[in-house]
Amino acid sequence: MASKNETTIKAEPGKQDLFITREFDAPRELVFKVFTDPELVPRWLGPRELTMKIDKWDARSGGYYRYVHSDAQGNAYGFHGVMHEVSAPERIIQTFEFEGMPEPGHVSLETARLEELPGGRTRVVVQSVFQSVDDRDGMIQSGMERGLKDSHWRLDELFEELAK
C-alpha cells in the first residue's frame, strides 16, 4: 500500500543521535497501544520478509523486552533492552541492543514521543542516542531506513485493518 505519510530520518554529521519522524492516520491512544501490545507489535515491527517472535515483552516502566527476527533461511537476529519509562499515551523511553554485534555492550537510548494531531492523527518522533558517532553511522549503514519504512507501511496497514 502506498502511504501519503513519509518517514524522515535526521542525522546531523558528527552527532551521536538521530531522529525518526512519521505521522500516522490513527489516534494517539491507538498508536500507543500498537507500539506496546505484545500481540500487535509482531505484526509490524521489522521488514516484511522477517518473522518476529517475542521472547519477553514487559511494556511498563522498569520492564525488560527481547525479541528475535528470523528469515526464511533460518537466520535469527536477537534484540533486547529495558524500558525506562512507558507513559501512556505519550512517551516511551527504552534501551536497545542488537545481539549480532561483534562484541556486546553497544547500546542506544531510544525516546519515542507521540504527539496528537488534528483529525485523529498522530506524529511519532523517535530519538536514538548512541554511545558514539561510529555506532550511529553503523546503524544507518546497516539498512535501517529500508526496515523502518517497511515497518511504517505495515503500521499503516494495521491501522486501516483495526479501523474496520
163: Cα separation from own chain's centroid: 21
97 binding a second copy? (CB under 8 A): yes
Residues 6+ apart with CB under 8 A from 103: none
157 binding a second copy? (CB under 8 A): no
126 binding a second copy? (CB under 8 A): no
**Interaction residues for a second copy, span 44-63 (CB under 8 A):** 62
Scanning 3-11, 14-22, 31-39, 71-79 for contacts with a second copy by CB under 8 A, the matching segment is: 14-22
Give min distance, CB of 157 to a second copy, in A.
30
Rg (C-alpha) for the chain, rounded Å, is: 15
CA dihedral 62, 151, 26, 88 (to 10 degrees): 0
ω before 118 within 30° of 0 (cis)? no
Task: Report how far residue 145's alpha carbon sits from residue 42's, in angstroms, rounded to the nearest whole number.
Answer: 19
Give min distance, CB of 90 to a second copy, in A.
9
Scanning 22-30, 77-85, 117-125, 148-156 for contacts with a second copy by CB under 8 A, the matching segment is: 77-85
- Longest C-alpha distance within the chain, in Å? 46
Nearest to 113 by CA among 86, 134, 145, 95: 86
Using the 8-state DSSP alphabet, how is residue 7 labeled? -
From the list 82, 88, 125, 148, which residue makes contact with a second copy (rule: CB under 8 A)?
Answer: 82
18 binding a second copy? (CB under 8 A): no
36 binding a second copy? (CB under 8 A): no
105 binding a second copy? (CB under 8 A): yes
21 binding a second copy? (CB under 8 A): no
Write out the residues near a second copy by the rule CB under 8 A: 15-17, 62, 64, 81-85, 87, 91, 93, 95, 97, 104-105, 107-109, 111, 127, 129-131
